[in-house]
Amino acid sequence: MFEIKSDDYSVFVGDVLTKADEFIGKHYARCKKVILVDENTAEYCLPKIQALPSLLNAEVLQIQSGEEHKTIETTSHIWKYLSSIKIDRTALFINVGGGVIGDMGGFAASTYKRGIDFVNFPTTLLSQVDASVGGKLGVDFEGLKNEVGVFKNPKAVFAHTEFLQTLDDRQILSGFAEIIKHSLIASRNYFDEIQDLNFEAIQELDNVIKQSVEIKNNIVLKDFQEKSTRKALNFGHTIGHAIESNLLGSKSSLLHGEAIAIGMICETYLSYKAGFILMEDAMEVANYINAVFPKIDIDSSNYHRLIELMQHDKKNTLQGINFTLLKRIGEVEVNQICEVDQIIEALEFYKNH
C-alpha cells in the first residue's frame, strides 16, 4: 500500500480496505454514514465496502451510472434522500464509484447543509489516477461539462486497486488516457516507461497509479484553484471535452478518456503549430495514442459545433479559446490562445493520421 499526502488529506493506493476501516472507525464511529453507488459498483464493489466493521450500519443510495446522469437533477435526488433520512452535518458521505460518482457525490456532500464530510473509494482507473486528487467537484449543465461545481477536498481517498479487476478493457483504456496525459505534461521518462506497461499486472498498475497521483498532487498543491500552474492538467481537455459533450447521449458516445485521447493528439498538433515542438514529436505522440486507442470518425460537418462548445469552456478568457500546449514532451505552456482555423487544422490532423 502507498500513501500520498495531499494538502489536508491522504490518498491510499493498493490493498487499502483495512486502512479505510481504521480511518472511518477512528473519526466517524458515532456518525451516520451514507454510501453512494451506481448499479455497477453496487454489484462488484459494495459487498466488500459494506463488510467493513465501520460501515456495517451505513445507508446505501444507488443512482444510475453514466455521464448523462451527472446532472443537477440527480444531485437533487441525492439531497432529497439525505434530507429524508435526517442526515445532519456530522455525517460521513462515502462515494464508491468512478469519476461521475466522485464528482457528483462530492458536490452533493459539499453543498448539503453547507457541507458534510466525504471520502472517496475510486473504482475505475480513470478515477484513481485523476479524480482522486484535486478537489474539483461538480455536474454537467445544459450540455456543458462540469459547468456547475465547487473546489472541496475529501477527508481521505482509498484507491483499492483490486477493484480494477472488475473493469473491461475499454474502461481501463479510458483511465490510461489520463496516465498518458500526466507523462506528457510532466516527465519524458515516464512517457517512455508507460509505453511498455503490462495491463495484466496489477502490481505494475499500482506503481503507475502512484506515479500519476504524485504528478497530479504536486501540481495541485501549488495551485489548488487553478489560477496558473494547475492549468497544465487541462492538456487534451479543451478539444476532448468538446468531443465528449457533442457525442453525449448518442449511440457513438465516448468515455471520458477516449475523448481526451483525441484531444491530446489535436492539442499536440497545436503545440507544433505554436512553434513549441517539432513535427516528429507530434507524430510520436499521435502514433502512440493511435496504436493504443481505436480510431474515432469525426465528421467535418461537426467541426463548428465543436468550436462552439470550446467557446463555452470555463477555462477561456476574453481573448479566445484557451489551451494548455506542450512546450516539449514532459513540459507545458499554459494560457495559449489558438485560432479557429488552427483548431480545425488540428482536428484534420487527427482525422488523417
Dig out the grid coordinates for 350 from the structure: 487527427
Looking at 67, 226, 244, 258, which residue is catalytic? Answer: 226
32 as an active site residue: the answer is no
Looking at 26, 80, 114, 227, which residue is catalytic? Answer: 114
Which residue type is seen at 216? K
C-alpha distances in Å from residue 195, one per residue of 102, 179, 308: 28, 11, 34
Looking at 181, 182, 241, 273, which residue is catalytic? Answer: 241
The single residue listed with the C-alpha cell 506503481 is: 207
Looking at 230, 246, 267, 273, which residue is catalytic? Answer: 230
Burial of 328 (0-12, 13-18, 19+ CB in 10 A): middle
CA torsion angle for 74, 80, 82, 83 (degrees, to 10)? 160
304 as an active site residue: the answer is no
Looking at 40, 95, 153, 234, which residue is catalytic? Answer: 234
237 as an active site residue: the answer is yes
Contact 338, 348 (CB under 8 A): no
Contact 181, 260 (CB under 8 A): yes
The single residue listed with the C-alpha cell 451514507 is: 34
Looking at 33, 160, 256, 273, which residue is catalytic? Answer: 256
Looking at 33, 67, 153, 178, which residue is catalytic? Answer: 178
Looking at 237, 244, 246, 273, which residue is catalytic? Answer: 237
Contact 92, 67 (CB under 8 A): no
- Residues with Cβ < 8 Å from 205, sequence gap 6 or more? 125, 161, 164, 199
Looking at 32, 33, 70, 136, which residue is catalytic? Answer: 136
230 as an active site residue: the answer is yes
Contact 209, 129 (CB under 8 A): yes
68 as an active site residue: the answer is no
Distance of alpha carbon 342 from alpha carbon 11, whole angstroms: 39
114 as an active site residue: the answer is yes
120 as an active site residue: the answer is no
234 as an active site residue: the answer is yes
Residue 320 DSSP label: B
The single residue listed with the C-alpha cell 475499454 is: 170
Distance of alpha carbon 290 from alpha carbon 272, whole angstroms: 18
Looking at 210, 216, 231, 273, which residue is catalytic? Answer: 216
312 as an active site residue: the answer is no
Distance, CA of 123 to chain centre: 12
The H-assigned helical ranges of 294-339 are 303-311
| Catalytic residue IDs | 114, 136, 178, 216, 226, 230, 234, 237, 241, 256
